[in-house]
Amino acid sequence: MREGSAEGARPRLEARGLACVRGGRVLFRGLGLAVGAGELLLVEGPNGAGKTTLLRVLCGLREPEAGEVRWAGLPLRRAGMVFRASVVYVGHAPGLKDDLTALENLAVAAALGGRAPAIDPREALARVGLGERAHVRAGALSAGQRRRLGLARLLVRPASLWVLDEPLSAVDRAGAGLVADLLRGHLDAGGLAVVTSHAPLGVPGERVRTLRLEGGAVTEGAA
Amino acid sequence: MSAGAAGAFAALVRRDLLLAWRRRGDRLVPLAFFVMVTALFPLGVSPERAVLATLAPGVVWAGAVLATLLGMDTLFRSDLEDGTLEQMLLSPLPAPVLVLAKVLAHWLVTGLPLVLAGPVLAGALHLPAHAQPVLVAGLLLGTPALSLVGAVGASLTVGLRRGGMLLPVLLLPLYVPVLTFGAGAVAAAAAGLPAAGHLYALGAILALAATLAPWAAAAGLRISVA
């Protein structure tokens, strides 16, 4: 509840009646969801079901064809900077410059947060297992290491909502453990998360709710 | 501007300059292009001193405009491809400030070398020495305006696969006022007439571009990223 309490409103992400169309095909319609403090929403579905599109809508990168997303009771458009200060998105694209070192990449990401980093970028790199690789160019890192570097953004940017698109892709078993630790710590501190994943996240089941997208149909249930 | 926005502005300028330095070979292309375009005229039209001196203002300015166009498509493209653009738009800081940082870095890397090379090339085309200060002043006011207006075009075409082909067609008409006032100032100075009016017009264009372009480009980027 770090960010939310600072803004005087409970962090809560809600969506109502969302519809998205891509390439003339309806990905989903009438989609509603709500995520509260300490909860993780796992978005499941086959490839092409619209998981990534939904995540991009939820963090405000894309406008839905219908419906609206609300943060702490305000539509995203009005929540504006308050919302963007509360969200970190780790998407398919790593958000890294290949010609910058791991540390330089993370320092820019921290600066874009607009306030002092939550922890020193060097310490964040050590925590994601890249302490030795701080001065290696991101382009020379392996796919799994690049993934870890992208996840290090979660440590330097204090945010109450994490939106993670396939955080377990390309990471090894230790990396999956790291993601699970990060998520558990975040949820225990009252954070929210919306995650897509094909592999088990290692987060206690009572914290997880599942949203399944399939051929335009939406089903919701406990994990 | 808040401390956070100033910090992010500085971090982005520094990042783009660092990236340009690490890929410095690529960044020389617009400058080399500028030199070659101006060299075409003595070869293609006439090596006569009097002819070249008449052509010099227009040739140097047209060369600067074309060289700016050449690099414009790259302004946001790599950021879009590697996902740093969406991170930029998700920042709580105002997107126009961040766009302005990118344009400033772009101008320092591509515009400033043109300003420095301009008088050398104009001298080679026998532009009278007393017109040189006006050329430099005009380029200093005009090339940032070209970068700013170019950023609006680049923000709209970055999402298109063949945006690089469309961009020059989109931007050239918008570059015409800068070209006419810039070349007009140099021609007036070469003829011994006052050039201040042209320079004021360039200054006005720059002021207008600096206030409007960052907002327009930020809106264009939001559309391109969606």
The verdict on residue A105 lying in a domain is no
Provide mean pLDDT across the span B189-215. Answer: 95
Does residue A210 lie within any of the structural domains?
Answer: yes
Which pLDDT value is given to residue B115?
95
pLDDT of residue A1: 40
Q: Tell me, yes or no, whether A211 lies in a domain.
A: yes
Mean pLDDT score of chain B: 92
pLDDT at B184: 94
Interval B40-83: pLDDT, tens = 988 888 888 888 989 999 999 999 999 999 889 889 999 999 99
Domain total for chain A?
1
The CA distance from A112 to the nearest CA of chain B, in Å, is: 5
B151 pLDDT higher than 50? yes
pLDDT (mean) for A180-202: 90
Residue B102 to chain A, least CA–CA distance (Å): 13
Q: Is residue A218 part of a domain?
A: yes
Which pLDDT tens digit goes with each residue over A3-17?
A: 444 444 578 999 999
- Number of structural domains in chain B: 1
pLDDT of residue A222: 54
Please count the other Cβ atoms lying within 10 Å of the Cβ belonging to residue B90. 24
pLDDT recorded at residue B89 = 93
Q: What is the mean pLDDT of residues B23-40?
A: 89
Query: Residue A137 domain-assigned?
Result: no
Instruction: State the pLDDT at residue B103.
Output: 96
CATH number at residue A71: 3.40.50.300
A152 inside domain: no
- Rounded average pLDDT over A72-93: 89
The amino acid sitting at B217 is: A
pLDDT average, residue stretch A199-214: 86
**Model confidence at B149: pLDDT above 70:** yes
pLDDT at A4: 40
The answer to whether residue A210 scores a pLDDT higher than 80 is yes
Whether the pLDDT of residue A121 is over 50: the answer is yes
Facing A100 at nearest CB: one of B19, B81, B86: B19
Mean pLDDT, range B163-183, rounded to an integer:
91
Which amino acid type is present at position B151?
A: A
Q: Is B191 on the interface with A (CB under 8 A)?
A: no
Predicted local distance difference test score (pLDDT) of residue A5: 41
Tens digits of per-residue pLDDT, A43-74? 998 888 889 999 999 999 999 999 999 998 88
Segment B16-40 shows an average pLDDT of: 90
Residue A223 pLDDT: 46
DSSP A116-147: --SS-HHHHHHHTT-GGGTTSBGGGS-HHHHH
Please name which of B93, B89, B213 lies closest in space to residue B154, comparing C-alpha atoms: B213
How close A206 comes to chain B (CA, Å)?
30
d(CA A223, CA B226): 30
Please answer yes or no on whether B8 and A60 come within 8 Å at the CB atom: no
Query: What is the pLDDT at residue A116?
Result: 82
Q: What chain B residue is nearest to A59 in terms of C-alpha separation?
A: B90
Number of residues that this document lists for chain B: 226
- ipTM of the complex as predicted: 0.87
Tell the residue number behind the tokens 């994943």, with chain if given: A197
Question: How many percent of chain B have pLDDT more than 90?
Answer: 76
pLDDT of residue B1: 61
The pLDDT value recorded for residue A221 is 65
What pLDDT, on the 0 to 100 scale, is given for residue A6? 43
Q: Which residues in chain A (37-56) have CB-CB distances under 8 A to chain B?
A: 56
Residue A171: pLDDT above 90? Answer: no
Question: Is residue B2 predicted with pLDDT exceeding 80?
Answer: no
**Nearest-CA residue of chain B relative to A82?**
B92
Q: pLDDT value at position A2?
A: 42
Q: What backbone phi and psi angles, to 5 degrees, belong to A31?
A: -85, 125
Task: Please provide residue B163's backbone torsions phi and psi, each rounded to the nearest 5 degrees.
Answer: -55, -30
> Which pLDDT belongs to residue A169?
86
Nearest chain B residue to A83, by CA: B92
Contacts with A95 from chain B: Cβ below 8 Å:
82-84, 86-87
Which domain does A210 fall in, by range?
2-86+159-222
**What is the rounded average pLDDT of the residues A110-132?**
89
Per-residue model confidence (pLDDT) at position B66? 94
